[in-house]
Chain A
Amino acid sequence: MFRKTVGLCIVLVLLLGALSPALAQEGKVVIRYANFTAGQDRAAELDQIIAAFEAEYPNIKIEPYNMPFGDYFTMLQADFAGGDPPDVFELNYENFVAFAANGVLLDLSAYVSEDAPYYPQALHAFQYEGKQYALPETFSTVVLFYNKDLFDQAGIDYPTAEWTWVDALETAKAIRALGPDIWGIYSPIQFWEFYKRAAQNNCQFFNEDKTETLINAPECVEALQTMVGLLEEDVMPDPAEQAGVSDSELFQAGRLGMQVTGIWMMPAYQEVPFNWDIQLEPGMATKAYHFFSNGIAVDINTEHPLEAAAWAQYMTSSKTAVDVRLAADWELPTLNDMSLFESYLAMTPPDNREVVFQSLEAPVPPPTIARQSEMQDIFDELFNAVIAGELDPETALNLAKERVDSLLTS
């Protein structure tokens, strides 16, 4: 008898244990939110935004899944393959197209009001075949960081907004002359830099209907040539000279005059023991700047489309989300209202923080295709052969055209 009672109790406890999470959330809609931008560092900030949202929508509970960027897309795809994707999830612009093309995203057009404060170009970027498949969340751009002290030491003027890559190269030579350990400039030779350099030289990536790349046109070859020129002129370290020290570490060590990199590096440079500032990146035939953006999308099969869309909207455009982001110097919200950014602009260094917004005047979003990672890897493999001196820019881009064209047609 005693044994039976104990056994029954154990079964009951187990049952209650299994049911209790469900009981605790009774009457509440649970929205699972997968993201890669909060991670460990910004989990507290995300929780802050979630708390404010739940206070405003007492019937909704947000369950965040903070994942590292490296594993994020694999896990997201595995969730989709397993038939159990999160209700709401972040997508970067490059992956957005693949997801939209596969028809797994909910059309959010109906949930975006006329006067939504999104930056129009960003809103447009997250449309596919005329439908709003994600809301723009944050943006980043790439600027020219420079070490003022090295410029002073070399007795040269600081970069201006009108600079071309010719000016940058001449200046880099002067800084390189300061010592064998001092490098003039670092501008990575990879897909992300190349698509923008191509745009700066009026090189078109694809034809109108994206059935063919035009990447081996003379303007494109010239764009790649200016990138490799920095290595040939020895103002930028090659991989062996760099020896595993990242360009940002070089900059932080005060051994790099100029660095072309994202505004996401600004928090890391707050404590460096020298003066630095930022400027718009140099141009070629024209000016063009990066526009990297993350958006928030909703699973087409979610059981709670209204609640999911409400969270997507809150996360991308609420005052709370904006304030929390800016206070933490997290990523910049993609909103078209400069008054929101006053606190951000007041932070120094850099003094010239307006450059971040000036670069939005000529933005180029990355070229995207359904087989995005494959295309990027093709370019990076060929560029590495160019860095090694095995291919010249023209041959490399001819090969790139051949291989990327086959991705577009198959």
Chain B
Amino acid sequence: MVGQSGVKRWVWVMLFLSPGLLGLLVFIVGPVIFSLGLTTFEWNLLTPPQFIGLQNYASLGQDPRFWAALEHTALYTVLYVPAVMAVAFMLALLLNQPLRGRAFFRMAFYVPVVSSWVAVSMMWRWIFNPQYGLMNFLLGLLGIQGPAWLFDPATALYAVVIASVWKDSGFSTVLFLAGLQGIPHEYQEAAQIDGANAFQRLRYITLPLITPTAFFVLITTLIGAFQVFDQMYLMPVEYAQRGTTVLVQLIVNNAFRYQRMGYAATLSWVLFAVIFAITVVQLRLQKRWVYYEL
């Protein structure tokens, strides 16, 4: 009897899960397996795919565009991730204070997050315009001759990082804010009674206890940084894209401009491998700096 009802239960479970599972199989698992298989083919969409073994992987080594894109992606990540984390943490500390109009500021810093990159890019293209943009106007007031920003391959990437930090910090701020509010008041109060000043409380109570949040923010922003696309595609002028083309752009170009579906699939898997490796390293390292209690 027990066995039969167990089976029955299992059938019901599967029945209720099936819509979601089916979607997962058809739209996620299927394409993932298909794309992995595709890495061993050459396919231009017009004629049937041709099996070429591991040649796509071998081509990576000789593709100067791949190495440049890897370099740009890494540089973007190295600049963007620490900046987002620092800015977001600082904003969260400020917004955690009992300020007047706190709700307004919390909303204000979140507005860029929900704005479309298309609109945001247009604004930053104007700010960074070397002739009539706000940025170089302000630098000019300080007596500094500003660079050409998005119009120069040497500076375009930095401009995109600045815009990205501006747009994305709000999201991590909300996470940090939640983390800060999760720290029990008792700890702060006990430390205050013991005579700890504000800096000491930040250093010995807030910082250690925010590390689980920081770890989550670090992992998610890292993954996001490696997958950067919209702003790189939208902001630098074509002339400057030589200094900014990232991996996802390379995947799009190979798939839809050069009709090299197999090579594009290979690049996607390389991107996946890089993200996977970095995430595993982070998970290992977390034991050294993430505290779940004092």
Contact = CB atoms under 8 A, between A and B. Distances in A.
A151 B46 CA distance: 51
16 contacts: A80-B46, A99-B46, A102-B46, A103-B47, A104-B46, A239-B151, A239-B152, A239-B237, A239-B239, A241-B131, A243-B132, A371-B258, A373-B257, A377-B257, A384-B153, A384-B242
Contact of A81 (B45, B132, B242): B45
Contact of B240 (A103, A104, A239): A239
Interface in A248-284: none
* List of 3 A-B pairs having minimum Cβ-Cβ separation, nearest first: A240-B148, A243-B131, A81-B45
Interface residues of B, number: 23
Interface in B73-101: none
A11 to B, nearest CB: 24
Contact of A374 (B47, B130, B151, B258): B258
B227 interface: no
A240 B146 CA distance: 11
Interface of B: 44-47, 125, 129-132, 148, 151-153, 237-240, 242, 253, 256-259
Contacts of A387: 239
B46 A77 contact: yes
Contacts of B153: 384, 388
Contact of A243 (B129, B240, B259): B129
SS class, residues of chain A in contact with chain B: helix
Interface string A338-356: 0000000000000000000
Nearest to B261: A81
Contacts of A377: 253, 257
Interface of A: 74, 77-78, 80-81, 98-99, 102-104, 239-244, 371, 373-374, 377, 380-381, 384-385, 387-388
Nearest to B149: A240
Contacts of B237: 239, 244
Nearest to B152: A240
A102 B44 contact: yes
Contact of B259 (A77, A244, A385): A77
A98 B45 CA distance: 12
Nearest to B155: A240
Contacts of A381: 242
B239 A384 contact: yes
B44 to A, nearest CB: 7
Contacts of B131: 241, 243
Contacts of B47: 102-104
Nearest to A382: B242
Given A244-B237, A388-B152, 15 more contacts: A78-B45, A80-B46, A81-B46, A102-B46, A103-B47, A239-B239, A240-B148, A240-B152, A243-B129, A243-B130, A371-B258, A373-B257, A384-B153, A384-B238, A384-B242
